[in-house]
Amino acid sequence: MVCCCFSSKYESRCTRVARNTNDPVWIHNFTFENFVINSKELEVAIFDYFQGRTAFIGEVLINLQVADLSGRAYWYPIPPVWDTGDQDLSSQVRLFLLLGHPRSYR
């Protein structure tokens, strides 16, 4: 079971837990009401839940000063937290980042 959490300086949001998958897909819109672009970065953290335990998979910090906030999708690599010696073990998160008034997204 895996979930994804988004955090700015003042707020955070998490997806629902994706169960029974090693390749989760979330289609969620998150609105940060008190979001300030000068907060500089958005943290995207990935967690695994297994038998009542939470394991941190990794995170990506997105620099909002240079990020494309037009709604175009980008793949962001998630560096591994630990070295397993497995060259094929990699993670990515694909995000659409859009800056604007929330009512304009509907």
| 38 — pLDDT class (breaks 50, 70, 90) | low
Phi, psi at residue 72, to the nearest 5°?
-75, 145
Digit-coded pLDDT (tens) for 67-78: 887 878 888 887
- Greatest CA separation for the chain: 47
Find the range with the poorest average confidence among 5-19, 21-35, 88-102. Answer: 88-102
Burial class (CB in 10 A: 0-12, 13-18, 19+), 22: exposed
pLDDT mean across residues, the chain: 72
What is the C-alpha separation between 51 and 62, in angstroms, rounded?
Answer: 31
| 9 — pLDDT class (breaks 50, 70, 90) | low
Q: In which order are the strands placed within the sheet that holds 2-7?
A: 12-14, 2-7, 41-50, 53-63
pTM tops 0.75, yes or no: no
Digit-coded pLDDT (tens) for 12-32: 888 888 888 777 777 777 777
Q: Could you give all domains of the chain from N- to C-terminal order, each with its CATH number?
A: 2-105 (2.60.40.150)
Examine the pLDDT at 1 and tell me if it is beyond 60: no
Name the percent of the chain lying above pLDDT 90: 0
Cβ atoms of 38 and 17 within 8 Å: the answer is no
